[in-house]
Amino acid sequence: MSVTKSEVLIIGGGVMGSAIAYHVARQGRQVLVVERSEEVASAPAASWASAGGVRRQGRHPAEAKLAVEAIERWRTLEEELEAGVQYRRGGNLLLAETDAEAKQLVTFVQEQQDLGFTDVRLVDRQEVTALVPGLHAGVVAGSYSPGDGQADPALTTHAFAKAAQRLGATYWKGTAVLALLVEGERVIGARTGRGEIQAEQVVLAAGAWSDELAGTVGLRLP
Residue 190 backbone zone (phi > 0: left; psi -120 to 50: alpha; other: beta): beta
Beta strands in 89-194 (DSSP E): 92-96, 121-124, 141-145, 149-150, 170-172, 177-183, 186-192
- Output the furthest CA–CA distance in the chain (Å, rounded): 66
For 198, phi then psi, to 5°, come to: -115, 140
Please report the pLDDT score of residue 82 as a whole number: 97
Mean pLDDT of 106-127: 96
Please report the pLDDT score of residue 39 as a whole number: 86
pLDDT digits (tens, 9 = 90+) for 140-154: 999 999 999 999 999
Q: Which amino acid makes up residue 55?
A: R
Mean pLDDT of 17-46: 89
Q: Please, which pLDDT band fits residue 45 given cuts at 50, 70 and 90?
A: low
**Which contacts of 216-220 are long-range, i.e. CB under 8 A and separated by 24 or more positions?**
216/178, 216/179, 216/180, 217/179, 217/180, 217/182, 217/187
Degrees, nearest 5: CA angle 149-153-155: 110
Q: Residue 122 pairs with which residues in a beta bridge?
A: 143
Contact between 70 and 15 under an 8 Å Cβ cutoff? The reply is no
Q: Please, which pLDDT band fits residue 42 given cuts at 50, 70 and 90?
A: low
Contact between 176 and 192 under an 8 Å Cβ cutoff? The reply is yes
Could you give the domains of the chain?
A: 3-52+153-215 (3.50.50.60), 90-149 (3.30.9.10)
Please report the pLDDT score of residue 21 as a whole number: 98
pLDDT digits (tens, 9 = 90+) for 85-109: 999 999 999 999 999 999 999 999 9
Tell me whether residue 68 is exposed, middle or buried, using C-beta atoms within 10 angstroms of its C-beta: 0 to 12, 13 to 18, 19 or more: middle
Q: Which of 177, 166, 173 is nearest to 216 (CA)?
A: 177
Q: Which of 173, 169, 182, 184 is nearest to 214 (CA)?
A: 182
Residue 216 reports pLDDT greater than 80 = yes
Average pLDDT for the chain: 94
Please report the pLDDT score of residue 40 as a whole number: 84
Residue 222 reports pLDDT greater than 90 = no
